[in-house]
């Protein structure tokens, strides 16, 4: 496995640059990525004084934030357009329509206050 390096601000616990396979100067430290990460899995970084390296630690499986949850919960666009058409045709293009109900249901089930 190729050794990786990052420019890391230890005080603020932030990556400034990298990772990359070369160490331009002594301000760059070893970076050890977490093994077996799953797609979009959350991670944390930990500075190890004894190893002189930043360790990436795998956290829980990725959890979608509220907007991602809503995006996948909304009806497909074709269904939304069909509901809009029928509401217009029925004269119910307001809060009594099927389109409004389908969107309101998702917004109520996944409120913004549950941001992650």
Give the mean pLDDT of 41-70: 86
- Are 50 and 93 part of one and the same domain? no
- Are 52 and 80 part of one and the same domain? no
- Are 9 and 53 part of one and the same domain? yes
Cα distance between residue 33 and residue 39, in whole Å: 14
Q: Which residue has the higher pLDDT, 93 or 42?
A: 93
Q: What is the pTM of this model?
A: 0.51
- Are 49 and 85 part of one and the same domain? no
Q: Which domain holds residue 78?
A: 66-110
Domain membership of residue 71 (yes or no) is yes
Number of domains in the chain: 2
The confidence score (pLDDT) of residue 114 equals 44
pLDDT band at 115 (very low <50, low <70, confident <90, very high): very low
The confidence score (pLDDT) of residue 113 equals 62
User: Could you tell me the two tokens for 45?
Assistant: 């970084």
User: Could you tell me the two tokens for 77?
Assistant: 């666009």
The confidence score (pLDDT) of residue 1 equals 62
User: Could you tell me the two tokens for 19?
Assistant: 């990772």
The string of pLDDT tens digits covering residues 63-111 is 777 888 899 899 999 999 999 999 999 999 999 999 999 999 999 998 8
Q: Cα–Cα distances in Å, from 50 out to 30, 46, 74?
A: 12, 12, 49
Domain membership of residue 82 (yes or no) is yes
Give the mean pLDDT of 27-51: 88
Cα distance between residue 73 and residue 93, in whole Å: 22
% of residues, the chain, pLDDT over 70? 95
> Which residues share a beta bridge with 43?
58
């Amino acid at each position: 496995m190729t050794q990786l390096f990052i420019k890391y601000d230890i005080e603020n616990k932030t990556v400034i640059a990298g990772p990359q396979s070369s160490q331009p100067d002594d301000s760059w430290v070893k970076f050890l990525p977490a093994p077996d990460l799953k797609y979009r899995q959350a991670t944390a970084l930990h500075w190890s004084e004894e190893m002189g390296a930043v360790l990436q630690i795998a956290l829980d499986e990725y959890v979608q934030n509220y907007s991602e949850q809503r995006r996948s919960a909304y009806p497909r666009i074709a269904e939304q357009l069909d509901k809009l058409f029928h509401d217009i045709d029925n004269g119910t293009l307001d809060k009594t329509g099927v389109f409004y109900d389908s969107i309101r249901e998702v917004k109520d089930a996944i409120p913004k206050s549950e941001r992650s």
